């Protein structure tokens, strides 16, 4: 790992649907109103940039009016529109953050191929072509051609280019690393999609039903450039998401909302397994021999894209020798780009000015160092990570930290979670009824994408008969998890298919104080905070490409890797593990009888089954040692 300096001191999506706001008004931490007007400091120009195949992409360029010095070029490519359109319409925020906007950069926004005001045909998660032949294009070639045009046609730049983006634009930021242009020096994929079979729309083969409404955004094609939305969201007639999807029944019944003209809906239905279609659209496997500096950013409580940032960083780290750093904070999707004083996820408060600290001391330093050559400012560590239990930033020279070890706990009788496995052969069982699935949240609302539930109180689930719980005694000393979690379940079912969901929960002591954000009907005493959860669609337990049924009542191993955490369970808190088979409607309902394609399952396929979890089941934590 090449380090230049070591730091010695410390939606749908963010860009979607913004309109032209002439003046940015922001209250600073001192209470002073900031009326910075980008129009006073930037010139705006809209151009179309030709790609190597002749397709032209709409591109907006904001250049500082002060030309007394040269500036780097910062670019973000998006499928969500580079609005506002029109030479006299300005974004409220130009650059990744307010500090960088005021310092000055040449900032470029581009509508990607086939989206909004750009020409061409859109391909959702367009596959990378490693060895292109004449006439072949992908997002790497479009990025390269765009940078080449900017370098040759934009005035007053210093020759250095940076790329950033959050969520889908984060995927395009990652894409810029492939066949990178020589001028590209620094890239920050933030909450990047890494693979649509493990991010956003699927988790370990299970379809995430909560993202179904977003299919409207990605599925409808257009045949010419446009500055207006050409898609619309289905009218559901209720705010009760749970009841709507329960009443809808099998996924095939949702066809009445999305017809054949929604290309992505057809792709989802036609490719239920991790086949060549999905494999080609993954970008993680191509991240090797990367040259530009990379800072990958993510949120520990990002329900949309947690797989992406952790695996983007990890794959680059293993397969490249470039500058590569990871930043993970106490955020949901894209929170780090906001200017909120109090940082909270749902009911849980994590501290003040956390995003501001990141923007000014991490993000700005990264880009300024590699794009402006500000070497007097210390550089970043390998991993800048926030402990969501102690609620403080930590820095490490590797992630996970070197001083970690695996500790194994067993799921024991009498709802116990302990390090010493009992030799007594036993099991706990529950009945999973597709007609009464476990909700993922108590809230009654229709959300576009879930956020708050990532730290939600899980007491409601612990009190259901179809959720198994295993819990330690109150801890006598703090215990810090720093890395991945592996659940090694031994299970059986009376059916031939099942989902297995594991949640790791921090149980607060009874006298814990409430926060400002605590919902009125709740108390933080005995709060069951979800720290991490993950699902495994049981048919994929051995191979995501080749599903197979369970043999009824046969003990079978199902391993579930939960994404990394960095969380300290404090003294007096308890560690709880919950195991269940439904988490609705975050995850669609498994029929629990094996069918080749769940998108085509019939009502009679959905059957009540009894599931068992045996006490030989284990959960392996990555524990930070003193």
Query: What is the secondary structure of 231-272 as a DSSP string?
Result: --PPP-S-S-HHHHHHHH-SGGGGGGTS-TTBHHHHHHHH--
CATH 2.60.120.260 location in the chain: 404-624
pLDDT at residue number 447: 85
Q: What are the residue ranges of CATH 3.40.50.1820 in the chain?
A: 38-129+137-195+281-396
Q: What is the pLDDT of residue 114?
A: 98
CATH topology of domain 38-129+137-195+281-396: Rossmann fold (3.40.50)
Please tell me the distance from the alpha carbon of residue 136 to that of residue 361, in angstroms, as a whole number.
41
For the chain, what is the radius of gyration of the CA atoms? Answer: 25
Given a cut of 70, the residues of the chain with pLDDT beneath it are 1-33, 375-378, 421-424
In the numeric block, the tokens 């250049």 are attached to: 63
| pLDDT value for 539 | 98
The number of beta carbons lying within 10 Å of the beta carbon of residue 535 is 25
Instruction: Please count the residues of the chain.
Output: 626
Q: Using one digit for the tens of pLDDT, what is the confidence trace for 321-357?
A: 999 999 999 999 999 999 999 999 999 999 999 999 9
CATH number attached to the domain at 404-624:
2.60.120.260
Nearest to 170 by CA among 333, 364, 359, 60: 333
The predicted structure's pLDDT at residue 258: 97
Alpha carbons 205 and 307: distance in angstroms, whole number:
13
Instruction: Return the pLDDT at 32.
Output: 58
pTM of the model: 0.94
* Model pLDDT, residue 8: 27
């Amino acid at each position: 790992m090449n380090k230049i300096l070591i730091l010695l001191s410390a939606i749908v999506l963010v860009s979607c649907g913004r309109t032209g706001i002439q003046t940015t008004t922001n209250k600073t931490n001192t209470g002073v109103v900031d009326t910075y007007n980008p129009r006073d400091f930037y010139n705006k120009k809209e151009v179309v940039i030709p790609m190597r195949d002749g397709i032209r992409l709409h591109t907006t360029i904001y250049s500082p009016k002060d030309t007394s010095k040269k500036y780097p070029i910062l670019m973000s490519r998006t499928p969500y529109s580079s609005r506002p359109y029109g030479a006299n319409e300005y974004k409220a925020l130009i650059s990744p953050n307010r500090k960088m906007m005021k310092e000055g950069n040449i900032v470029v926004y581009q509508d990607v191929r086939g989206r909004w005001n750009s020409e061409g045909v859109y391909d959702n998660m367009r596959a990378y072509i490693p060895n292109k032949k004449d006439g072949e294009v992908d997002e790497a070639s479009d990025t390269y051609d765009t940078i080449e045009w900017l370098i040759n046609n934009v005035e007053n730049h210093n020759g250095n280019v940076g790329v950033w983006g959050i969520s889908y634009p984060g995927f395009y930021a990652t894409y810029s690393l492939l066949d990178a242009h020589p001028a590209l020096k620094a890239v920050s994929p933030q909450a990047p999609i890494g693979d649509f079979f493990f991010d956003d729309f699927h988790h370990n083969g299970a379809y995430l039903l909560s993202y179904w409404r977003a299919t409207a955004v990605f599925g409808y094609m257009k045949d010419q450039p446009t500055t207006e939305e050409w898609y619309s969201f289905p009218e559901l007639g209720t705010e009760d998401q749970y009841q709507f999807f329960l009443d809808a029944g099998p996924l095939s019944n949702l066809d009445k909302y999305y017809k054949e003209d929604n290309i992505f809906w057809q792709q989802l239905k036609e490719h239920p397994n991790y086949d060549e279609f999905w494999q080609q659209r993954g970008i993680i496997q191509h991240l090797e021999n990367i040259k530009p500096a990379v800072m990958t950013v993510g949120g520990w409580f990002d329900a949309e894209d947690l797989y992406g940032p952790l695996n983007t960083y990890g794959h680059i780290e293993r397969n490249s020798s470039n500058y590569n750093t990871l930043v993970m904070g106490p955020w949901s999707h894209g929170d780090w780009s906001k200017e909120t004083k109090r940082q909270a996820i749902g009911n849980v408060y994590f501290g003040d000015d956390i995003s501001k600290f990141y923007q000014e001391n991490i993000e700005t330093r990264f880009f300024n160092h590699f794009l402006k050559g500000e070497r007097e400012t210390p550089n970043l560590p390998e991993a800048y990570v926030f402990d969501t239990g102690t609620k403080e930033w930590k820095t490490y020279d590797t992630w996970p930290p070197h001083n970690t070890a695996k500790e194994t706990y067993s799921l024991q009788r009498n709802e116990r979670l302990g390090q010493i496995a009992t030799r007594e052969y036993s099991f706990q069982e529950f009945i999973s009824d597709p007609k009464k699935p476990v909700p993922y949240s108590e809230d009654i609302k229709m959300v576009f994408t879930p956020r708050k539930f990532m730290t939600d109180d899980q007491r409601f689930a612990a009190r259901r008969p179809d959720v198994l719980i295993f819990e330690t005694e109150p801890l006598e000393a703090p215990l810090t998890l720093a890395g991945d979690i592996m659940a090694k379940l031994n299970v059986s079912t009376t059916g031939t298919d099942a989902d297995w969901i594991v949640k790791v929960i921090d149980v607060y002591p009874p006298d814990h104080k409430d926060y400002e954000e605590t919902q009125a009907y709740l108390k933080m005493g005995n709060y069951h905070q979800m720290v991490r959860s993950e699902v495994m669609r049981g048919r994929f337990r051995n191979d995501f490409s080749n599903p197979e049924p369970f043999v009824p009542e046969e003990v079978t191993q199902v391993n579930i890797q939960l994404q990394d955490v960095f969380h300290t369970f404090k003294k007096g808190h308890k560690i709880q593990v919950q195991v269940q088979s439904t988490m609705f409607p975050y995850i669609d309902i498994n029929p629990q009888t094996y069918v080749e394609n769940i998108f085509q399952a019939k009502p009679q396929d959905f059957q009540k089954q009894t599931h068992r979890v045996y006490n030989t089941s284990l959960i392996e934590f990555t524990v930070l040692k003193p």
